[in-house]
Structure 1
Amino acid sequence: MAGFRVPGPLAGELRVVPHPAVMLVLEFGAGEAAMEDAAGRLHRGSLVAGPGFGSGGGVRARGEQAECVQVRLSPVVAGTLLGVGPAELTGGAVSLDDLWGREAARTRERLHELPSWQDRFALMDALLARRCAARSPVDPAVAWAWKRIVASGGLVRIDHLATELGWSRKRLWSRFHAAVGLPPKSAAKLVRFDRAVHRMLGGGGAAQVAADSGYFDQSHLHRDVMTFTGSTPSAVVDEPFLTVDDRAWPTGVPR
């Protein structure tokens, strides 16, 4: 998780770059934050967004004097923790008030009262642990498949996963999609994209990154980046949503 403070108005709108996690945003304090999706729908305040949220480059964040805690959750545990599965989010976002009711408001109030980010992170750790303990466990087979996809950088063959599980491709597709919110192949594509853009952000050239990340060639990488962000590889590495990652998410981010 990470804490963000916007002391004044955002200098322009912030493009949301998709990543392979469920995003939980808890806004607190006197400011205001919102996200506008590609259809022009405005999501104000605290929200939950599915993996790949922002695909196509049509989601923008804006705010003024806003403070929030953002948590990135593995899709395979998100349903257990949040009370809504990623499949129900379908790449979009829902209000946390609609999911948690009064608990969302109480959590925001407590976050506002606490004096430091570390105290706020500890509060969120305890809250999520409590919610996890009170709900059904994660499907171990789907969790295993997700970990294999992430560990491979999205390069593992989906038919190999099905074979190792002793499942048909159809069964893997159905169980995985229900738990993660994406079919296995789409999830692998998102993980591969995320790994590639962060390598470019670290200074890697597009041609070398394409070769190392399992793309056919540089134009294949270019098409993938355009599909996910609506921007070119050279432009996307300057997106503020990405450039804060190494400071905001030094460990634990799926890449």
Structure 2
Amino acid sequence: MSVPPPGAHNRRVRTPNPTAGWEIARPARPSAPGAIAMAGFRIRGDGLSELRAIPHPAVTIVVDFGERPLTVSEAGGGSRSGSLVVGLGFRELRVRADLLEAVQVRLSPLAAREVLGVPLAELGGNVIALEDLWARDAGRLRERLHDAHTWQDRFDLIDSALSQRLRARRSIEPEVAWVWQQIMASHGLARITDLAERTGRSRQQLWSRFGRQIGLSPKRAAMLVRFDHAIHRLADGHPPARVAAVTGYADQAHLHRDIRAFTGATPAAAAAEPWLAADDTAWPTRMVTGVR
């Protein structure tokens, strides 16, 4: 997949359903807080009623502003509507995608607690209404996005709201932040025991601190990052056996088990999801691994 040039704002991608048109926008300039990446989505077309959300190594904020509210259905049968926060490492979520208008934020867990005001260990992989965290500010932001005239105006509004919530003091310990960065940089292949030794912590101490501050154990975080790397390679058309070999899985069956565990789908079905095809347009620089 080609990566669009930095100045390109609005792009369309063709989903497997040819009647469903996607408009994808991204900021013309980087967001002020270095850990935050944003994209705007407008999906028109009744032929595409539901999409599978693919887990990603980021906390997700979605602020909807269209006439029809965003609706997310969970594997257990529950659903939520409106602007939402989705925790790190969620599982088996489906999004009603017809007539969707929203700005999505992929937020590094190194900044998420400050922005959201809730420990990530409490957030877990759950879906929470943004109003439960931001109270009336969430509704005000939605109204302002609805009234905005351009995507860049909407990005500026989101950027301002997020920046106001980022404090100078960081709540993530340097050792924990470094371990997360190493997991991301290695695509999930870094040995957790080696990382613990290099921080001067015992394995037990690292797992406790990391889990409390990131919301996942180091092992689970590495599995999520490795899965993300692998599923994108599958979406790019690489053979499953080759993907398993280069992304650190024991074999193709191991890769298949992880994909089903994270998505509830077969590798072929998960890799064909339109969200993955949109990633190189919506998130051309990928996630930033640290907080600047």
TM-score (norm 1): 0.93
The residue that corresponds to 2:265 in the other structure is 231
Q: Is 1:48 aligned with 2:82?
A: no
Match of 1:188 in 2: 222
What letter matches 1:234 in structure 2? A
- Structure 2 regions of 5+ residues with no counterpart? 1-37
Give aligned-pair identity as a percent: 52
1:156, CA displacement in angstroms? 0.4
| 1:103 equivalent in structure 2 | 137
**Do 1:32 and 1:64's aligned partners in 2 also have CA atoms closer than 8 Å?**
no
2:127 corresponds to: 93
Q: Residues 4-45 of structure 1, C-alpha deviation per residue, up to 9 Å, x if partnerless?
A: 112344623211111111000001132221001111111101
| SS of equivalent to 2:281 | helix
Contact 1:32 1:63 in 2 (8 A): no
The 2-side partners of 1:136 and 1:217 are apart by: 40
Counterpart selection for 1:19 from 56, 65, 69: 56
Structure 1 counterpart of 2:204, which letter?
K
Give the aligned partner of residue 210 of structure 1. 244
2:68 maps to what in 1?
31
Aligned positions of 1:76-87 closer than 5 A? 76-87=110-121
Provide the secondary structure at the position in 2 that maps to 1:99. helix
Contact map agreement 2:49 2:97 (CA 8 A) in 1:
no
Structure 1 residue 243 corresponds to structure 2 residue 277: yes
Q: Which residue of 2 aligns with 1:171?
A: 205
- For 2:43, the equivalent position in structure 1 comes to 6
Q: Indicate the SS of the match to 1:214.
A: coil
The normalised TM-score by structure 2 is 0.82
**Distance across 2 between alignment mates of 1:142 and 1:225:** 26
Q: Deviations over 1:156-176 (max 9, x none)?
A: 011111101100111111111
**Equivalent residue number for residue 181 of structure 2:** 147
Two-structure CA RMSD over aligned residues (Å)? 1.7
Report how many residues are paired: 252
Determine if contact 1:33/1:64 at 8 Å carries over to the other structure. no
Mapped to 1, the partners of 2:288 and 2:137 lie a distance apart of 28
SS in 2 for 1:192: helix
Which structure is higher in helix share? 1
**Gaps spanning 5+ residues in structure 1: where?**
none
Contact 1:21 1:254 in 2 (8 A): no
Amino acid at match of 2:140: R
Q: Displacement, 1:86? A: 2.0
Query: In the aligned structure 2, how far is the partner of 1:140 from the partner of 1:27?
Result: 34
1:66 matches 2:100: yes
The CA deviation at 1:138 is: 3.1
SS at match of 1:244: helix
2:189 touches 2:248 (CA, 8 Å); kept in 1?
yes
